[in-house]
Amino acid sequence: MKQEKEQERLKKKEDRENVKKEKEQERENKKREREEKAAKKAAAPKKAMSAYFFFSNASRAKIREEFPQLKITEVSKKIGEMWGKLTEEDKAPYEKQAAEDKERAKAAKAVFDAAQPKVAKRNMTSYMFFSNHIRKELQTEFPDLAITELSKKTGERWKALDDEGKAPFVEQAATDKERFEKEKELYGSPPPKRKKKDETDSKLSDKKLKAMIHKILDDAQAKGENISRKKVRKMLETKMELAADALTSRKEDIANWIQEWMDDGDE
């Protein structure tokens, strides 16, 4: 009995150390990704500014001087109101600046892209093409809305379109998909998208994790297969795409749910 308790204690200690190592490795990976992303961003050419941003930069100091009591968000709102009242003639100088900056950014991007390793650029969906098409219109119509609210407006406009209205964007998406397939043949597939940290981590509810385990066991039983606890965990990692550290930290729960399934089968 004493020996069993000692083995159990050592096993728990080993599990804790494994979890710690996995978390440290995850932190190192994330740190490296951030550094690589920051380095690439620093080397990348500056993006083109819109006419509204040129106007905003030209007006901000004057507004702060005239209304020193306004908060940053209120200053931005004020700039949006002023922009909305400008005539096309008033906007013309800023539109010209934006057009010139667009050409500058285009040339700089071409030089930057030429120096980068070739990789297939993922294709865009019809909704993404529509979103790019309508963004400027929505920013002008709703200058005070946050990005999240503008995205919501974009979704509403898209849902309101009939098949005929969506057709140009569907065609653009189909053409872009062909372009992507050709680039994949030339340069290979792009790296896989990083999964969002949602229900694949330790925040997964007990109810859902338990249901996943019982489904694996039910499927194995239906096929007449014997399945070990180790194999259950492996299938959770592969088929269900759950993080290894999340499973290690809940090893005891998993064992209990497997035993619960076995007890139910014996009744």
The full DSSP string for the chain is -HHHHHHHHHHHHHHHHHHHHHHHHHHHHHHHHHHHHHHHHHHSPPPPPPHHHHHHHHHHHHHHHH-TT--HHHHHHHHHHHHHH--HHHHHHHHHHHHHHHHHHHHHHHHHHHTSPP-PPPPPPHHHHHHHHHHHHHHHH-TT--HHHHHHHHHHHHHH--HHHHHHHHHHHHHHHHHHHHHHHHH-PPPPPPPPSSTTSTTS-HHHHHHHHHHHHHHHHHTT----HHHHHHHHHHTS---HHHHHTTHHHHHHHHHHHHHHHH-
Q: Are residues 140 and 164 in the same domain?
A: yes
Q: Are residues 133 and 183 in the same domain?
A: yes
| 171, part of any domain | yes
| 91, part of any domain | yes
Q: Are residues 54 and 106 in the same domain?
A: yes
Among the three residues 116, 138, 161, which one is the final residue of a domain in this structure?
A: 116
- Digit-by-digit pLDDT tens for the chain (267 residues) are 677 777 777 777 787 787 777 778 878 888 888 887 777 777 788 889 999 999 999 998 888 888 889 888 888 888 989 999 999 999 999 999 999 999 999 999 888 888 877 788 889 999 999 999 998 899 888 888 877 788 889 989 999 999 999 999 999 999 999 999 999 888 888 777 655 444 444 456 677 777 777 777 777 777 777 777 677 777 776 655 555 555 666 667 777 777 777 666 544
Among the three residues 99, 116, 133, which one is the final residue of a domain in this structure?
A: 116
- Give the pLDDT score at 171: 96
- Give the pLDDT score at 216: 79
- Give the pLDDT score at 267: 47
| 54, part of any domain | yes
Which structural domain range is residue 168 located in? 117-190
Q: Are residues 108 and 122 in the same domain?
A: no
Q: Are residues 102 and 150 in the same domain?
A: no
- Give the pLDDT score at 203: 52
Q: Are residues 108 and 129 in the same domain?
A: no
| 242, part of any domain | yes
Q: Are residues 121 and 184 in the same domain?
A: yes
Residue 138: count of CB within 10 angstroms of its CB: 17
Distance between CA atoms of residues 139 and 154, nearest Å: 11
| 12, part of any domain | no
- Give the pLDDT score at 102: 93
Q: Are residues 111 and 123 in the same domain?
A: no
Read off the CATH number of the domain in which 68 is found. 1.10.30.10
- Give the pLDDT score at 101: 94
- Give the pLDDT score at 219: 76
| 82, part of any domain | yes
| 68, part of any domain | yes
- Give the pLDDT score at 249: 62
Q: Are residues 123 and 185 in the same domain?
A: yes
Q: Are residues 92 and 124 in the same domain?
A: no
Q: Are residues 123 and 174 in the same domain?
A: yes
- Give the pLDDT score at 170: 94
Among the three residues 116, 131, 164, which one is the final residue of a domain in this structure?
A: 116
| 1, part of any domain | no
If one counts the domains in the chain, the total is: 3
Q: Are residues 144 and 109 in the same domain?
A: no
Cα 161 to the center of its chain, rounded Å: 26
Closest CA to 253 of 227, 229, 234, 237: 229
Model pTM score: 0.40
